Structure 1
Amino acid sequence: MRKFYSTFGIAISLSASILVCACSDKKNDVAGGITDIDHSMAYTGKILDANGKGVASARVVAYIDNSISVEDSVETTSDSTGNYELIFDRNTDADTVILYAEYNALCALINAAGLENNNLQISERKMLTGRIDGANDGYVRIKGTSIKAEISEDGTFSINNAPVGEILLQYVENKAPVAVFPVSTAGTSDTIALPPLTEKYLPMEGAETVFDNDSTLATSVNYVDGISGKAIQLEPGQFIEIDSLDPTDGDFTISLWTKWDGPNGNHQILVAQRSYWSDSTSKFQWHFENTEGKFSVMKSAPVSPEEISFGDSSIVPVGKWTFLTLVSKDHQVSMFVNGEQVGKTNTFVPNTLNQAVPFRVGGNEISTETWNGLIDEVRIESVARSKEWILNTFQTHFNTLE
């Protein structure tokens, strides 16, 4: 059983039992966003057709998802110019709010978080196809709806009635939520074919593939107390290998918890996608680089011109559980420690290789470069998570340590 999930990563299917609150009779003529009124939350916006014209009498619903269940909803209709207002008599700051609109056969769906306005442009539903790398079971569902699709043995899925908009696609396995992928179904095409979605989660519960430095399976793996359940203390020369996982061709997020024992006179690997450090067999590496004493990403050899540094050893506490995150969006890479960015965002493009190379956690082919500390809750995704998501994930986990 998985130990932790981000509060953005829990979803259930909606049913007729969802509570529908009475909607406000108020309307206003100004499309806006979210307003806090005496601890109530007002979501205002406009329902638009394909030409950008306001749609009157559209049904508009806001669903509240507290990351454990959908616990509330509010419904209204748009006025004669397409404007709407939805008011909750509670503060929804800590919840995920999904906005839905429909008029006849047209509809739209958006995640309200982080939007400048809450306008919804309705259109015909789309066919949505995709594949989750490494998945062979479970299902995906669209948050804020009851729409779901089973995942085939090769990881593929197909949804033939996806609403138009910026949606959240929830991957569920063994009745447990695994990952949430932000997906856009906007555009003129009737069929949206998603790029492969990567989601690899290592809870350190004994199913990890640990190798010794000679690439033979480790005969002894040291499991110790983690942030919940167990963590791994890799022995010198060991590393965790994840087959031929390749998340770095586009956007990606890599996160993990560690209790670091500090510098030890050697380079220390967090993750490495390489067979060797040469340009032809090394794609990407995130590590503590001992020569300069900095946390960095690189393509091949340390201190090469391609290396991006985020800060010295002081940015990661020693002997304390710490949440480390590396995000690459449009080849702009950033590092976060306990939900806060360290160093600057820099351009970084991993090497393009003509061969598949191993993806390893906590070490590489060099026996002295094993990570010096505990590792727990490793997650690798083919989406670029937001600062808000990273901070929320840290706070959710950190609260269990207090």
Structure 2
Amino acid sequence: MADPEKGTPTVPTVEEEMSDEEVDEVDEEEGAGERKELVDKLMKDPQVLAALQTKLRRFLGTPSGYISNHTSPAFNSSLPVAVKRRIKALKKLQLQYCELEAEFYKEVHALEVKYDKMHQSLYEKRRQVVNSEYEPNDEECDFSSDNEDEEDKSLSKDMEEKAKIDEKEESKVHDFDENTKGIPEFWLTIFKNVDLLAEMVQEYDEPIMKHLTDIQLKFHDQPMGFTLEFHFNENEHFTNKVLTKYYEMKCVPDKEDPFGFEGPEIFKCKGCTIDWKKGKNVTVKTIKKKQKHKSRGAVRTITKTVQNDSFFNFFNPPPVPEDPDEDLDEDTQALLTADFEIGHYIRERIIPRAVLFYTGEALDDEDFEEEEGEEGEEGDDEEEDDPDYDPAKDKTAKDQQPAECKQQ
């Protein structure tokens, strides 16, 4: 109705002219308007948007529940029978696709084997150059991007900084000059450049790794797989000339999870026996432990041999059960997963591109660690903003930390 004096519509009182339903409708409209205004304000707040995006990410890839697995009650109840039949038909087609994909990867493996035979001559020439069995001529050394001008160097500035060693320290470690033959410590340098491999190599492993002359790759067809061969020249630690690591792969969809197939995967590996010379086995260490007799109180010292961290444990992986249905404990599964990753990395990247890992050019950005103490670090800002922060006390506390805490 309209106010006769002002000529504008007015909202009648609840008691006189509005029913309960009309009152609810007005309240709902007013509430919706307030909510819209509040949402508009919130959506303009960057912090609210960031929090909302974080929440939404948790649901990415989460099934809605409408189209769910055919074994779930939701699937059986939410779709008509005819639609469910068609979805089953599509899944059967998808299974056929997975089987064709497996055949595709088998042919890819056969192609790898074919080209590997061509690669072998290049790998052999590389081995000869590294081990001073062959001196490349001027034509073979004419590589255009490899000149001495600073701006034309193939290594980036960051890589140069990572690879740079103080000249004085380098002279103590290396004794290289123009008369040096081959490329000394070629493979050891590669292992030390790559974080994934550097973590495996202990300080006492390095004198042995200096004798590593080549890493070769051998493909297998039946069963699908490959062998890594680590060739060593004569050394004072073991008598083996070659240490091997065998990897077996499967390239068929899993019966329990056929749609999870993503190509060939390593599922088994086997090392070799290292014939260590007496007292030279770096994979074990001897510890002494004191034992006290419960009743007499007498103390005795016993000697115990335990496993020692070493790269050469790589050739003694945990055994894989023959029964595929037998479950592995978490620790063993973690060890095998890491082993498979390392074997695959050496096969796919290290062997084909060895010289680029030696120079540092093949290193990924994640291989470089950020230097501590850079400007803008969150921890430093918090300390400086704290009115009770005392740098002298903080330094004293850090100095009193155990050694293992400082290394973390």
TM bucket normalised to smaller: under 0.3
TM-score, normalised by the number of residues in structure 2: 0.23
Q: Counting helix residues as a fraction of each chain, which structure ranks higher?
A: 2
Larger Rg belongs to: 2
TM-score, normalised by the number of residues in structure 1: 0.23
Higher relative contact order (CA 8 A, sep 6+): 1
